[in-house]
Structures are given as structure tokens and as C-alpha cells.
């Protein structure tokens, strides 16, 4: 695959498709050979210059292509302006979401778990703390009507007893609309829990890494030797079937042990799952960490996954892959494009003890304790740090072609790998840009097929 990248325009080829991405406006264009040559050689200053520089193409085709590109430029769809470069974040941003770490204990012993010794403490959140957290969220949500709560861990089902009353308590705020997500490894998932999750319309993220030998190698039980794969898969299938394969995600992790992760996605599709996410392991070092030497293979594997995605659709077995789902027609608002996930000010995490951190990955990291749900506000210096860590203040981001599809990347990864939330992790950037390229390629192929 070839590519040409600048702050204004990104050109790349994938499997014969020539694609241009306007960095400023996010427009994506599928190009013919003439338009590709004009943009690749930087010939948009003069129509006559373009004709003279491309003698290998018929004159009228160069003129037509140049005129079409010029119209796109005039329409702001190519080499667009960025009047929002002077954007500054608002001083006060109401909180909209909490990640409740309802259980720091876990019944699995995943080899790549990012939990720190602090978060490995076998704490369960009390109902009292959980209800205080809900009240704290409402009190700090301002005029926001739609609020979110994520039940997380550890394994949240180890503390199932507090989840129904927390949901009931939140639903009692009639001037707010709550949505809920629960992430589970599935070992404690039962029919009555599935019924409750369905009845309350709670999105469920189910942890499953793919093929049996991959999953079991990475996700053994705590204090046991059985196959967790064979325990959880029937329960996950039951849950997905019970909600007509909506409002869930199968979420896996790949490591250097399964760089052929397309095969894991294929396996998940063969099991019948249609909403799939597979994430790179987050680890500084260790036997399963991803290093610079693995990046070329991973980039190639994403292209292979894109082809499998298209082939599955052609064969009548469509599925969604989270990182390929990029909305080119509506998408997030400007503030979201500039700031990403909102960790540290819009989105916060709460420990079983009621401590508040910028997100679940920051729990236990020195210098990031923000406050407590029993108290009033949070440390304004930490809130300000994250609020001002938008893409224009991040190293390398202002001139990256993918800036408005990314928002500056994951703060936690930046801090973990570089010790500074303003310095994005380079490996994560490469993977994110490749996933974007695959998404745009997929959409170009689906569009072409629709025109046939």
C-alpha cells in the first residue's frame, strides 16, 4: 500500500482503491487514476500546469479531473479551512458519565490484565457508595439530561446484588435519562441476570478473545484449571440471541500471541456474533506485549480483516467491527472531535471506596486521585489538565491527517507509555490510522458495489 500524507490531505492506496481524505473536513474521496495523479503531484494550483505535467493522460481527462477537484476545493471538501483552530475548551463542563468499579476482585486471572496492585485489592463497592455515586453524578451533571453509568471491574457480577438497586435508584431521577453498560467475563452470567439486563435495556460488553486456545491461554480462571471459553460461550450466545443480537459487543484483546487476529474475528462470526471489537493489549512489557517489531504485521492484519469484513457481507453474513464503524455523514460534534472521550471532566471513574479518578485506567496512578463521591467537587487542577489536553495541545496531533477522527488519542496510553497525557503513544496512533484507512476503504467498496 502506498500513501502520501500531509496536514491538509492524506492519499493512500489499498488493494487497488485510490483514496483521498481531506484532513480538515473529514471528506473521503474515491479517485480515478487521473485525479490521483493530480493530487499526488500537487498540481492543484493551475489547470494548465496539470495538463502539461501529465502527458500520459488525454488532455480532456486531465482538464475534467482538475475541474472536478477544483469544485470540491471550492465546496470545502478538499484542502478545507479550519476556523476552529483557535478553539478553547469551556471553563465548566458538566459530568455526563461515571464508570463504577463495583468489584475490584475477579474470578479470572487474565495474563494481560492492566490492573495495578492498587486495583487488584479484593474490594467490592457497597450499595451506599454506589448510590452516593449516582447522586454525585446527578448533582454534577448540570443541564445534561442524558447520563451514563458503566458497571465495571474486576468482574462486576461478583457484586451483582448492588446493580439492580443502583439501576432503580438512577431511574428514580425523572428529569434524567440514564443508560447503562455492564462489562463481564461471563462466568457468573445466568438466565435471571440476562432477563434483568434485557428488561432494563443495559448494554453488555462480553469479554471473549476469539478461538478457544487463544482465549483460554490468556483468560484462565482464578484458582482453577478449566476452560473458561467453554463456560462462557454458551452464556454469551444465549444473551446475544435473547436480545436479537442488539445492544451488545463481544470485546476481545489480541497480543503478540495472535497477530493473525482476523482468525479470531472469523471464529466469533462463526459462533453467530455480529457486534465485535478486538483491542490491542495495553502493556509496557512482558511476554504478551506488542512492540515496534509487531506493528508491520498488525497493520497488514487489519487490511486482511477488512477483506474478510467485505467478503462476509458479500456472502450474506454481515457483522460490525467497532473500529471500522466510522460515520462519515453525521458523526460526532466539533468538541468531541477535538477532545476525544472526555476522561477527567465529562467521564470519571469511581473505586469501591468512592474515590474519583479520570477513568478506570488511571485508578491507582499517583497524582490522579480527584476526590470522593461523599465530598463536593473534584480537584480542579486535574480537571483542567484533562480539559485542556485537546488535540491542538498534544504533541504531533495538530498536523496529523487523522486528527478529527481521533481527538488526540487515549490519555491513559499516553501517560503509561510516555509519562505525559500530552504525548500520544506512537504505536497506538499507527494502529488507529490504519483502522481508519480500512474503514474508508470498506466504505468505498460498499459504495462502488451499490452503484453496480
- DSSP, residue by residue, 353-390: T-EEESSGGGTT-TT---EETTSS---HHHHHHHHT-S
**3-class secondary structure, 395:** coil
288-309 average pLDDT score:
97
Domain ranges, residue 34: 3-81
If pLDDT is split at 50, 70 and 90, which confidence band does 115 have?
low
Tell me what pLDDT residue 329 has. Answer: 83
Greater model confidence, 86 or 292: 292
What is the pLDDT at residue 109?
94
Instruction: Give the C-alpha separation, 251 to 406, whole Å.
Output: 20
Pairwise CA distance, residues 218 & 216, whole Å: 5
> Using CA atoms in the order 86, 437, 12, 305, what is the torsion angle rounded to 10 degrees?
170
Is 29 among the domain residues?
yes
Q: How confident is the model at residue 3 (pLDDT cuts 50, 70, 90)?
A: low
pLDDT for 68 equals 97
Report if residue 262 sits inside a domain.
no
> pLDDT confidence of 91, banded at 50, 70, 90?
confident
Ranked by mean pLDDT, which of 1-15, 78-92, 219-233 comes out on top? Answer: 219-233
Residue 208 falls inside a structural domain? no
Is there a domain that residue 335 lies in? Answer: no
Q: What is the mean pLDDT of residues 291-312?
A: 97
Strand runs labelled E in 26-110: 28-31, 97-103
Looking at residue 2, its pLDDT comes to 54
pLDDT in tens, 395-431: 999 999 999 998 899 999 999 999 999 999 999 999 9
Task: Quote the pLDDT of residue 84.
Answer: 75
Length of the chain: 452
Q: Each residue of 51-62: pLDDT tens digit?
A: 999 999 999 999
Residue 338: per-residue pLDDT: 83
Query: Which grid coordinates are listed for 410?
Result: 487515549
pTM score of the predicted model: 0.94
pLDDT band of residue 120 (cuts 50, 70, 90) is: low
Report if residue 12 sits inside a domain. Answer: yes
Judged against a pLDDT cut of 60, whether residue 146 lies above it is answered with yes
Reference 77, options 133, 128, 26; nearest CA is 26
Answer yes or no: are the C-beta atoms of 79 and 44 closer than 8 Å. yes
The pLDDT value given to residue 224: 84
Report the SS3 class of residue 253. Answer: strand
Residue 4 pLDDT greater than 70, yes or no = no
What's the average model confidence in pLDDT over 131-157? 97
Q: Are residues 90 and 231 in contact, defined by beta-carbon separation less than 8 angstroms?
A: no
Per cent of the chain over pLDDT 70 is 97
**Greater pLDDT, 118 or 34:** 34
C-alpha dihedral over 162, 235, 253, 341, to 10 degrees? -40
* Residue 34 within any structural domain of the chain: yes
3-state secondary structure of 138: helix
Bond prior to 101 in cis (omega within 30° of 0) = no
Residue range 215-241: average pLDDT? Answer: 96
- Distance CA(33)–CA(181), nearest Å, equals 46
Mention every residue, 6+ apart, whose C-beta is less than 8 A from residue 271.
233, 237
Q: What is d(CA 266, CA 273) in angstroms, rounded to the nearest whole number?
A: 10
Q: Kindly tell me if the per-residue pLDDT of 440 is higher than 70.
A: yes
Count of domains in the chain?
A: 1
Backbone angles phi, psi at 277, to 5 degrees: -135, 135
144 is a domain residue: no
245-248, long-range: CB within 8 Å, 24+ apart, which pairs? 245/272, 245/273, 245/274, 245/275, 246/275, 247/201, 247/202, 247/203, 247/204, 248/203, 248/204, 248/205, 248/206, 248/275
pLDDT in tens, 38-51: 999 999 999 999 99
Within a domain: residue 15?
A: yes
Amino acid at each position: 500500500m502506498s500513501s502520501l500524507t500531509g496536514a491538509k490531505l492524506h492519499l493512500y492506496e489499498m488493494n487497488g482503491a485510490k483514496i483521498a481524505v481531506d484532513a480538515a473536513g473529514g471528506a473521503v474521496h474515491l479517485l480515478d487514476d487521473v485525479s490521483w495523479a493530480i493530487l499526488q503531484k500537487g498540481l492543484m494550483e493551475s489547470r494548465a500546469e496539470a495538463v502539461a505535467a501529465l502527458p500520459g493522460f488525454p488532455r480532456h481527462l486531465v482538464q475534467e479531473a482538475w475541474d472536478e477537484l477544483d469544485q470540491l476545493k471550492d465546496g470545502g471538501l478538499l484542502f478545507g479551512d479550519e476556523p476552529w483552530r483557535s478553539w478553547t475548551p469551556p471553563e465548566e463542563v458538566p459530568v455526563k458519565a461515571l464508570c463504577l468499579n463495583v468489584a475490584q476482585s475477579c474470578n479470572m486471572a487474565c495474563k494481560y490484565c492492566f490492573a495495578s496492585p492498587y486495583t487488584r485489592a479484593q474490594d467490592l463497592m457497597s450499595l451506599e457508595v454506589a448510590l452516593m455515586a449516582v447522586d454525585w453524578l446527578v448533582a454534577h451533571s448540570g443541564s445534561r439530561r442524558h447520563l451514563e453509568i458503566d458497571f465495571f471491574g474486576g468482574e462486576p457480577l461478583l457484586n451483582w446484588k448492588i446493580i439492580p438497586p443502583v439501576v432503580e435508584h438512577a431511574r428514580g431521577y425523572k428529569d434524567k435519562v440514564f443508560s447503562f453498560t455492564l462489562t463481564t467475563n461471563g462466568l457468573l452470567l445466568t438466565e435471571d441476570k440476562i432477563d434483568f439486563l434485557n428488561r432494563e435495556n443495559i448494554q453488555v460488553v462480553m469479554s471473549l478473545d476469539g478461538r478457544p486456545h487463544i482465549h483460554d491461554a490468556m483468560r484462565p480462571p482464578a484458582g482453577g484449571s478449566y476452560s473458561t471459553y467453554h463456560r462462557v460461550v454458551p452464556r454469551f450466545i444465549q444473551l446475544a440471541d435473547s436480545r436479537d443480537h442488539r445492544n451488545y459487543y463481544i470485546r476481545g484483546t489480541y497480543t503478540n500471541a495472535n497477530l493473525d487476529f482476523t482468525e479470531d474475528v472469523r471464529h466469533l462470526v462463526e459462533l453467530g456474533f455480529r457486534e465485535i471489537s478486538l483491542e490491542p493489549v495495553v502493556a509496557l512489557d512482558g511476554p504478551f506485549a506488542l512492540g515496534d517489531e509487531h506493528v508491520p504485521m498488525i497493520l497488514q492484519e487489519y487490511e486482511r480483516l477488512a477483506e474478510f469484513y467485505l467478503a462476509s457481507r458479500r456472502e450474506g453474513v454481515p457483522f460490525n467491527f467497532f473500529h471500522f464503524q466510522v460515520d462519515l455523514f453525521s458523526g460526532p460534534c466539533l468538541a468531541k472531535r477535538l477532545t476525544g472521550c472526555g476522561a477527567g471532566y465529562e467521564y470519571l471513574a469511581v473505586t469501591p471506596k468512592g474515590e474519583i479518578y479520570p477513568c478506570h485506567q488511571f485508578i491507582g496512578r499517583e497524582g490522579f486521585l480527584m476526590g470522593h463521591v461523599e465530598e463536593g467537587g473534584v480537584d480542579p487542577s486535574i480537571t483542567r489538565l484533562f480539559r485542556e489536553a485537546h488535540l491542538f495541545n498534544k504533541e504531533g496531533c495538530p498536523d496529523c491527517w487523522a486528527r478529527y477522527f481521533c481527538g488526540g488519542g487515549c490519555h491513559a496510553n499516553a501517560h503509561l507509555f510516555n509519562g505525559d497525557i500530552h504525548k500520544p503513544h506512537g504505536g497506538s496512533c499507527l494502529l488507529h490510522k490504519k483502522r481508519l484507512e480500512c474503514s474508508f476503504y470498506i466504505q468505498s467498496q460498499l459504495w462502488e458495489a451499490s452503484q453496480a
